[in-house]
Amino acid sequence: MGDVKAESVVLRSRHIERTRDAHPSKATGTTSGSRAKAASIDGSPRSLLNGRSHHHHHHTTPDHPQYPSSADPQLSSAALASRMTFLPPSEAIKAHGKFGKGAAEAPSLAVEGSCRSVEDVVGIIRHHPIPFAFGLSLLFFMGVEYTLRMVPSSSPPLDLGFILTRSLHTLLASSPALNSALAALNTVFVGMQATYIVWTLLVEGRPRPTIAALFMFTCRGILGCSTQLPLPQGFLGSGVDFPVGNVSFFLFFSGHVAGSIIASLDMRRMRRYEMAWVFDALNLLQGIRLLASRGHYTIDLAVGVGAGFLFDILAGKYEESKKHAH
């Protein structure tokens, strides 16, 4: 089809030249668009395409370049494709030029050969470093998972947090008074979390932290009843630890950590950054103490952090839904 069109344009240009030679007066009246088309033809496919494109733009936008940077839908669509995909901007333009609506209007941007090169990979790393790092971690942990020696059912769980805090555990085991003192301080911190969350509801009239805490403790109770984990070996209890009195508790997940995260997020939302940093530091010390006393597994603490973020977001969505309902 393209060859037929090219031959037609060539024949037409020859007809124009013969007419100009036979009728000089008529030749001077030839339109500028015909002269541009005849002048642009040299027999090559690119010249034919450029001539056809020039003729089109002569009648539509004669005072603008062929590809305006600010209004060209081809470029704007490619920029959007770059934001919505992992392609760098240059690659998104080429891919859109080949497969999108602008393929016929921007042939010079079409992808030739492979759509990937070393430059494109570098562009992906530069524009999307975090997903690229996650991709590498996926490959790494796939190798770890498929070569891991499983812990026998007769052995206690392998916990890296317990290994890292082994010396602290030995210290607390040899000093019950120190263990009780740290447990008492931890109970005070839990009271600080609860006081702040209740304060935001009753005094400031902001229910989001309270709603998040209610969501969190409800989910924690459901999960704690669903799977009851064994008490870690070497657990160092204390009568002043929360819950006070050495009563039973759910291991998964840590309500200590999740409650602190909920309070810290609200402090940042209200620009109380100093208080938030204090809570984060105390939460870190709390986590170390819980591992050293074998009060929680590492996974309990990690999921507690995620639960704090999750239920704060859910509480915010609940508030938004109530506002839209009214």
pLDDT tens profile 76-127: 555 555 555 555 555 555 555 554 544 444 444 444 445 567 888 788 888 9
Asked whether residue 252 carries a pLDDT value surpassing 70, the answer given is yes
Q: Is the dihedral of CA 213, 217, 219, 223 positive or negative?
A: positive
In a domain, 222, yes or no: yes
Asked if residue 312 and residue 210 are part of one domain, the reply reads yes
Asked whether residue 11 carries a pLDDT value surpassing 90, the answer given is no
Mean pLDDT lowest for which of 114-128, 150-164, 196-210? Answer: 114-128
Asked whether residue 290 carries a pLDDT value surpassing 50, the answer given is yes
Asked if residue 318 and residue 300 are part of one domain, the reply reads yes
CA dist 250 and 228 (Å) reads 7
In DSSP notation, 73-92 reads: HHHHHHHHHHHHSSS-HHHH
Asked if residue 276 and residue 225 are part of one domain, the reply reads yes
At 109 the pLDDT is 42
End position of a domain, from candidates 60, 94, 110:
60
Q: Is the dihedral of CA 141, 144, 146, 152 positive or negative?
A: negative
Asked if residue 121 and residue 6 are part of one domain, the reply reads no
In a domain, 154, yes or no: no
In a domain, 221, yes or no: yes
**3-state SS string for 259-321:** HHHHHHHHHHHCCCHHHHHHHHHHHHHHHHHHHHCCCCCHHHHHHHHHHHHHHHHHHHHHHHH
Asked if residue 313 and residue 207 are part of one domain, the reply reads yes
Other beta carbons within 10 angstroms of residue 85's beta carbon come to 13
**3-state SS string for 217-234:** HHHHHHHHHHCCCCCCCC
Percent of the chain predicted with pLDDT > 70: 63
Asked if residue 171 and residue 318 are part of one domain, the reply reads yes
In a domain, 155, yes or no: no
Catalytic residues: 256, 296, 300
Q: Binning pLDDT at 50, 70 and 90, where does residue 198 land?
A: very high
Percent of the chain predicted with pLDDT > 90: 52
The answer to pTM > 0.85 is: no
Asked if residue 127 and residue 268 are part of one domain, the reply reads no
In a domain, 266, yes or no: yes
Mean pLDDT lowest for which of 93-102, 161-170, 268-277? Answer: 93-102
End position of a domain, from candidates 149, 182, 211:
149
Asked if residue 257 and residue 279 are part of one domain, the reply reads yes
In a domain, 156, yes or no: no
Q: Is the dihedral of CA 159, 161, 167, 169 positive or negative?
A: negative
Asked if residue 318 and residue 287 are part of one domain, the reply reads yes
Residue, of 41 and 174, whose pLDDT is higher: 174
Asked if residue 21 and residue 73 are part of one domain, the reply reads no
Other beta carbons within 10 angstroms of residue 321's beta carbon come to 9
pLDDT tens profile 17-75: 666 655 554 444 444 444 444 444 444 444 444 444 444 444 444 444 444 444 455 44
The whole domain housing 207 covers 162-325
At 69 the pLDDT is 47
Asked if residue 233 and residue 130 are part of one domain, the reply reads no
pLDDT tens profile 211-236: 999 999 999 999 999 998 888 999 99
Asked if residue 143 and residue 258 are part of one domain, the reply reads no
In a domain, 308, yes or no: yes
Asked whether residue 279 carries a pLDDT value surpassing 90, the answer given is yes
- Which tokens sit at 73? 């839908």
CA dist 61 and 54 (Å) reads 10
At 297 the pLDDT is 96
Q: Binning pLDDT at 50, 70 and 90, where does residue 173 land?
A: very high
- For the chain, what is the mean pLDDT? 78
At 97 the pLDDT is 53
The candidate with the shortest Cα–Cα distance to 287, out of 170, 162, 176, is 162
Asked whether residue 275 carries a pLDDT value surpassing 90, the answer given is yes
Count of domains observed in the chain: 3
- Which tokens sit at 147? 């070569």
Beta-strand (E) ranges in 41-161?
none
In a domain, 157, yes or no: no
